[in-house]
Amino acid sequence: MSDRSKALPVEIWVLVGSAFTIAIGFGLVAPALPQFARSFGVGVAAASFLISAFALMRLVFAPMSGRLMQKLGERPVYLTGLIIVAVSTGACAFAQTYWQLLILRSLGGIGSTMFTVSSLALVIRMSPPTERGRVSGVYSTSFLIGSIMGPLVGGALSFLGLRAPFIIYCIALLIASLIVYVALKDSPLAVPESANGLPVMTFRQGLARPEYRAALWSNFGNGAAVFGVRMALVPLIVVEVLHKDAALAGVALTVFAAGNASVLFLSGRWSDTLGRKPFLIAGTLICAFGTAGLGLASNLPWLLVASCIAGIGSGMFSPALQASVADIVGPRTRGGPVLAGYQMSADLGTFLGPYLIGTLADQVSYGVALGVTGVLLASASAAWMVVPETLRRKEPAVVTSS
């Protein structure tokens, strides 16, 4: 381990391990969920709505999560969110009707946004100011690797049936909750912010800064393109345009993840020295180019190359984007409303993107639909060209609340 790695607080590595557990468990459950819903005799639309309901509850409950974090501190909200997801996911294994499953997954969405917003706040506060990009890269990489491994583990355990993944994920989250509780219990870094008398950066104050507006737009595009449109349309392109086996869609998604992982850590680390803007501008442009290329794919190799390019672009800008928000909030300011707004922008993109772009693909073509998605990402790149650099070599004074 390098000296730079040793300098990071152990609490950060605990959060990184927790993110890996969350991601691998989500990847374990996600493939089984639609099939489990279908076992109750519902149609494809109803089964798909389970995914939308989870995202919708994340979106709706994000502001409340920010307020809870301001009152209680990040650690209690983080642990409560993990436990809510663990219990609701475990209960899914015993659901007897579709409606029971829908309610339980919706509750899981509430818990998910609680630990997502609070974990981002914890990472920001615990990260040394000169290491925010690197920490964001490590955190994102752990989540990505877990997401890749989840479906593989799920496939290996498929002989256990459709209910088993929910129980396994529940147990894993409870163990992760216990580890986080023990690691942060007496940590001075995790003292509830309300006890420190720190000033609050409101959402309105954040929105007054052009850098934050650019971050919101970028995260909206990220949610729409990377987490929404790509996941919804790539499998359809493989089957309906290229006339290939549906299993090859997984190959295309894996190639994207491989491209992403190849640059995540380095881009985050380099953004701590070179600045956030170079990676935000170049990364979103490269991701836009690759995303548009997906819609023009005429054969499988083309699709795989475009997927890899999009993944590299995403890996370049994702750590820098999260680090830019950390720069805006700063380590000596409570930024719950700002972080909640940032998370909501991605959730909104994930919720709207597949439907709106999917409708465009249905009415016009996949090429036009993914071209529009590419333009959305490119517009985020343009936004960063005209706003100030967020990285400061020296931490600014405490931000006062109005």
Read off the CATH number of the domain in which 116 is found.
1.20.1250.20
Q: With bands split at pLDDT 50, 70 and 90, how would you rate the model's confidence at 5?
A: very low
Domain boundary among the residues 151, 186, 221 is at 186
pLDDT at 308 over 80: yes
Same domain for 35 and 63?
A: yes
pLDDT of res. 107: 92
More confident residue, 281 or 355: 281
Residues above pLDDT 90, as percent of the chain? 28
Helix/strand/coil for 275: coil
Please compute the mean of the pLDDT values over residues 128-144 and round it to a whole number. Answer: 75
Q: With bands split at pLDDT 50, 70 and 90, how would you rate the model's confidence at 167?
A: very high
The token pair at 263 is: 């640059």
Please compute the mean of the pLDDT values over residues 383-397 and round it to a whole number. Answer: 77
Same domain for 339 and 271?
A: yes
What is the separation, in whole angstroms, between the first and last Cα of the chain?
Answer: 44
Cβ atoms of 88 and 104 closer than 8 Å: yes
pLDDT at 398 over 60: no
Q: With bands split at pLDDT 50, 70 and 90, how would you rate the model's confidence at 151?
A: low
pLDDT at 400 over 60: no
More confident residue, 145 or 209: 209
Residues 110 and 58: their CA atoms lie apart, in Å, by 6
Same domain for 27 and 151?
A: yes
Q: With bands split at pLDDT 50, 70 and 90, how would you rate the model's confidence at 197?
A: low
Instruction: Tell me whether residue 396 is in a domain.
Output: no
Domain boundary among the residues 156, 186, 216 is at 186
Q: Hey, how many other C-beta atoms are within 10 angstroms of the C-beta on 273?
A: 11
DSSP state of 93: T
CA dihedral for 220, 74, 70, 387, sign (positive or negative):
negative
Q: pTM value?
A: 0.76
DSSP state of 400: P
Instruction: Tell me whether residue 395 is in a domain.
Output: no
Same domain for 172 and 230?
A: no
More confident residue, 290 or 13: 290
DSSP state of 242: S
Instruction: Tell me whether residue 385 is in a domain.
Output: yes
Cβ atoms of 384 and 284 closer than 8 Å: yes
Same domain for 153 and 277?
A: no
pLDDT of res. 247: 67
pLDDT at 206 over 80: yes
Same domain for 169 and 251?
A: no
Same domain for 296 and 378?
A: yes
Residues 11 and 15: their CA atoms lie apart, in Å, by 6
Our CA angle for 106, 192, 114, nearest 5°, is: 10
Nearest C-alpha neighbor of 15 from the set 107, 87, 118: 118
| Domain limits for position 87 | 1-186
pLDDT at 384 over 90: yes
Instruction: Tell me whether residue 267 is in a domain.
Output: yes
pLDDT of res. 190: 59
More confident residue, 281 or 327: 281
Same domain for 131 and 166?
A: yes
Same domain for 161 and 229?
A: no
Instruction: Tell me whether residue 321 is in a domain.
Output: yes
Domain boundary among the residues 131, 157, 186 is at 186
Averaged pLDDT of the chain: 82
More confident residue, 48 or 368: 368
Same domain for 44 and 120?
A: yes
Same domain for 23 and 139?
A: yes
pLDDT of res. 126: 77
Same domain for 239 and 106?
A: no
Number of domains in the chain: 2
Half-sphere exposure of 217 (CA within 13 A, CB side): 21
pLDDT at 86 over 90: yes
Residues 184 and 174: their CA atoms lie apart, in Å, by 15
Instruction: Tell me whether residue 192 is in a domain.
Output: no
Instruction: Tell me whether residue 133 is in a domain.
Output: yes
Instruction: Tell me whether residue 398 is in a domain.
Output: no
